[in-house]
A and B are shown apart, each in its own frame.
Chain A
Amino acid sequence: MLDEAATDTMITQISDSLYTHLIKTYDGNLPSAGLHSLDEIRTQAFERFKSMGFPTVKQEDWKYTNVQPLIGQRYSLDTEMPSGTPALDKALIPKLDAHRIVLVNGRYSSELSTDEEIPGLQIMPIEQAFDRLCFAKYFAAYADKTDNPFVALNTASFTSGLFIEVGKSRQLQKPIHIIHVAATDKPLFTQTRNLYVMGAFAEAEIIESFITEDGAEHNLNNQVSEIVLRENAKLQHYYLQVAGPQSNYLNHTEVHQEKHSLYNNYNCSFPGAAFVRNNINVQMGDSEVESHLYGIALTAGNQLVDNHTIVDHIKPHCESYEWYKNITQDTSTAVFNGKIFVRLDAQKTNAFQQNNNMLIGEKSAIYTKPQLEIFADDVKCSHGCTIGQFDNEALFYLRARGISEAQARVLLVHAFAFDVTSRFLNAAVREYVEHLVEEGL
């Protein structure tokens, strides 16, 4: 755990803007277990962050997503455990039998987590993993190659997070359910760093839920997850965003895949969190790799949900499949940006991308940019994008059969989401998400 000296330097100073606050309090005296290499990575990342600064809407990647109002506010950086135990019922998925891991403001809570010994599975707070071999090998190896300033900031000054390693050829029987709880009585800025390593031939399922404790103060969470899949590994990865309106998220997920591996990401956002920005980058580092990215964002109120994905076909014979659906209500905004790169000589690539949107709210907006950059010729790449509304004929059809309008709408949205939800391999999660879609309307 964090030693005393480190926490002392982060004493609450809510008087400065976040940038000055971060610059002022950064002194390199962060948890690094005395590892010189980690210190160095942190210092370099901090220099990178300082040179980049926080992004503005003038930058292409942040064109529709203005972080300035968020970072303009004052935050405490003190991520000490709050007193009392936060309730987890919002994150609980009926019928799901899983290993439960709870992170409160990014900190591992052993009392809330199910603490069982599973052979081949290592789960621990990230600061306890600093001396592990695969930490040295994979930490900051991929995410920090991107030009996301929030990743640089996270690398420089993360304070907590989770480390998971699934041993070689281990196939987990039960999924790992990680619950991220935001619980604070003062405006809080947290920086969480996760590293998940899937050994060769390992198989696992990770479900991550994001919730906010009732009555919690305004909070901003900058989370970076690095995921490495060794040869033939398989990972099913769910993000279930059900946090409250006080919470704001900047989530960066960097996936690196080795030969024959399979990574599936299911990214779901529901009405609640005021600001959600997901960056999901998949690097297909070797040939014969497969990835599926599914997403569904149902927004309401004044929400902004922004999903940026990059699928990078570096080697030949890889396959990617991406399908994102957005449904915007009220005055909410949904942003989708899907990039597919097919590098030189990444022949025989199969890349598919689809983004469908339902714009329901009178004043809601959808900004989408499905982007292809292709440098090889023997490929099959396509993308499609639509923006539309309820089909009046379908509505009429249902109403003519005695179904109320509200019910008919629910049915139609359910059907719209079905393309994505039907891909969920975990039946309990699928049922839970379908229920949330209905509830969110």
Chain B
Amino acid sequence: MLDGCPSTYLITFWRCVMSTKDDALLKELTLEEYKYGFTTDIEMDIAPKGLTEDTVRLISAKKNEPEWLLEWRLKALQHFLKMDMPTWQNFENPDVDFQDISYYAAPKAKPKLNSLDEVDPELLSTFAKLGIPLDEQKVLAGVVAVDAVFDSVSVKTTFREKLKEQGVIFSSFGEAVQEHPELIRQYLGTVVPQTDNVYAALNSAVFSDGSFVYIPKGVRCPMELSTYFRINAENTGQFERTLIIADEGAYVSYLEGCTAPMRDENQMHAAVVELIALKDAEIKYSTVQNWYPGDKDGKGGIYNFVTKRGICKGDHSKISWTQVETGSAITWKYPGVILKGDHSVGEFYSVALTRNKQVADTGTKMIHLGKNTRSKIISKGISAGVSHNSYRGLVKIGPGADNSRNFTQCDSLLIGDRCGAHTFPYIESRNKTAKLEHEATTSKIGEDQLFYLTQRGIDPEKAVGLIVNGYAKEVLNQLPMEFAVEAQKLLAISLEGSVG
């Protein structure tokens, strides 16, 4: 049945329309055209719209999954159907019709590919446009191994052989289910259970692909691993699942990037990311999220409802989240760390930039359970236009978390007088030896700083870019080099037109 409905799409080439300059400082925002707003003409396998048990069975069958995984999915579906939509968020929850989404979209099935030449050239050109060094020729010059997820299916994983030599498993989730079912079975859903929240339940039921990483004992992953997500097809949601396991003493740095075409309707992205760090292991997870944010009237855009959580299972382990959020109509995510092992460390660095009618409700959760655990939260929000940017975080110290330590800093920068910045920190301590600090400030761009820069011949727009980059530096510094440069540019582009 699926093969009967291939869809084709026209390629609309992206054109960069420079925003016209406005005279008044801090006036109405003009939109820098979304750079990644092209669609790709590729034959797709798309499941019919709707969510039933059959949908789940169909996805599972398509992926040729073992019985236990199908049952796991069905259990999640049962939970999902029972759950209500949350109401605590600081924005109007969009009315999502879960029956009006197609839960599976894949580039049309072809025999298994052996080399890059066999990949659909259209697909390759899409990734070329995105600037991913997918082409192995190019990749050889770089240092990044890429797993590209196109709509719901992982297209190509580069550098696999080289990683294999070290025992590192880096593959699409679907492949991992076939090749390493024991690992998947052991760890899937242990950090984000199916019942965690409504979107996690949905994802658990219908996730179609994603990335899987396993770093064996004592291995320091020789290169940065990277996934590129792209939603292409219309009326589809993207539900990928990432599972990263760092065995004892291992280290991995993982990057993800996201883009989507410009469409008038909203599309949903409900991913789940689970990180597991065993004894002495370290995972560094960086995100540059640039989903299509919708146009300046708030039409279209991606709903980015993601559940990300890591667990420092063993002693002396460390998980660090870094995120740069510039896209999506609504961003709603709280990458968290459960600090279970003694002496484990959790970190969260975030820059969230919203403009036009974007909404970002993001933050982190640090759950201290082990002794001598430490966590650090640096969150920088920048709101422009009529957007709203919220920091929502939880720091929880359990009764057994002796001598644990937390430091939180969340700053908000306001550009324009119609935007909002909000802070909702929850701080809970049940241990008499724990020390927690939290500080937050909100202010607008310093006029003295602007004056200083413009007085030296820098135009106001560049000056704002400079100030914002300086403001976000603490977080950007955490990103791997290549990403830091990209993120800096992204911030500058996103701010274009924010000031007159």
Contact = CB atoms under 8 A, between A and B. Distances in A.
A and B form one complex: yes
Interface of A: 60, 344-345, 347, 357, 359-389
Closest 6 CB pairs of A and B: A377-B414, A385-B438, A387-B436, A377-B444, A381-B442, A372-B423
B411 to A, nearest CB: 9
A416 to B, nearest CB: 14
B39 to A, nearest CB: 37
Interface string B383-418: 000000000000001010000000000001011111
B429 A366 contact: yes
Given A347-B417, A382-B440, A385-B437, A359 B429 contact: yes
B443 A365 contact: no
Contacts of B436: 385-388
Contacts of B435: 386-389
Contacts of B424: 369, 371
B432 A362 contact: yes
B93 to A, nearest CB: 15
Contacts of B440: 370, 372, 382-384
A374 B412 contact: yes
A387 B422 contact: no
A381 to B, nearest CB: 4
B81 to A, nearest CB: 21
B439 interface: yes
Contacts of B419: 377
Given A372-B442, A385-B437, A387-B436, A365 B430 contact: yes
A368 B437 CA distance: 12
A385 B425 contact: yes
B421 interface: yes
Given A365-B429, A367-B427, A368-B427, A378 B444 contact: yes
Given A366-B430, A382-B442, A384-B438, 18 more contacts: A344-B417, A364-B432, A365-B429, A367-B429, A369-B427, A370-B425, A372-B421, A374-B412, A375-B420, A378-B444, A379-B443, A380-B443, A382-B441, A385-B437, A385-B438, A386-B438, A387-B427, A387-B436
A320 B434 CA distance: 30
12 contacts: A366-B428, A366-B430, A367-B427, A367-B429, A368-B428, A370-B423, A372-B422, A376-B414, A381-B441, A384-B437, A386-B437, A387-B435
B399 A363 contact: yes
A307 B167 CA distance: 55
Contacts, number: 110
A387 B396 CA distance: 12
A372 B420 CA distance: 10
B444 A60 contact: no
A308 to B, nearest CB: 14
A384 B441 CA distance: 9
B88 interface: yes
Most chain B beta-carbon contacts within 10 A, residue among A364, A371, A377: A377
Contacts of A381: 441-443
Contacts of B88: 60
Contacts of A373: 420, 422-423
A387 B434 contact: yes
B68 interface: no
Contacts of A363: 399, 430
Interface of B: 88, 397, 399, 412, 414-444
Contacts of B443: 379-381
B67 to A, nearest CB: 38
Most chain B beta-carbon contacts within 10 A, residue among A347, A365, A370, A374: A374
A389 B433 contact: yes
A361 B432 CA distance: 6
B103 to A, nearest CB: 31
Contact of A369 (B399, B425, B442): B425
Contacts of B421: 372, 374
A213 to B, nearest CB: 34
A374 B412 CA distance: 10
A382 B444 contact: no
A377 to B, nearest CB: 4
A371 B422 CA distance: 8
B441 A360 contact: no
Contacts of B430: 363-366
B432 A374 contact: no
A337 B397 CA distance: 18
Most chain A beta-carbon contacts within 10 A, residue among B429, B434, B442, B443: B442
B434 to A, nearest CB: 7
Contacts of A60: 88
Nearest to A368: B427
A380 B411 CA distance: 12
Contacts of B429: 357, 359, 365-367, 387
A388 B397 CA distance: 12
Given A374-B421, A374-B442, A385 B427 contact: yes
A360 B420 contact: no
Nearest to A362: B432
A381 B443 CA distance: 7
Contacts of B418: 344
Given A377-B444, A378-B444, A359 B422 contact: no
A389 B417 contact: no
Nearest to B426: A369
B414 A374 contact: yes
A371 B425 contact: yes
A329 to B, nearest CB: 10
A386 B428 CA distance: 11
Nearest to B413: A377
A379 to B, nearest CB: 7
Nearest to A336: B427
Contact of B415 (A366, A371, A377): A377
Contact of A360 (B415, B426, B427, B432): B432
Nearest to B399: A363
Contacts of B434: 359, 387
A78 B140 CA distance: 85
B395 to A, nearest CB: 9
Contacts of B432: 359-362, 364, 389
A361 B433 CA distance: 10
A377 B416 contact: yes
A370 B426 CA distance: 8
Nearest to A369: B426
A366 B426 CA distance: 11
Nearest to A337: B426
Most chain B beta-carbon contacts within 10 A, residue among A60, A360, A383: A383
A344 B386 CA distance: 11
A62 B272 CA distance: 30
B451 to A, nearest CB: 15
Contacts of B428: 365-368
A374 B422 contact: yes
A385 B425 CA distance: 10
Contacts of A365: 428-430
A345 B442 contact: no
A366 B436 CA distance: 11
Given A60-B88, A364-B432, A370 B438 contact: yes
Nearest to A342: B442
Contacts of A375: 420
B64 to A, nearest CB: 42
Given A372-B440, A382-B439, A359 B417 contact: no
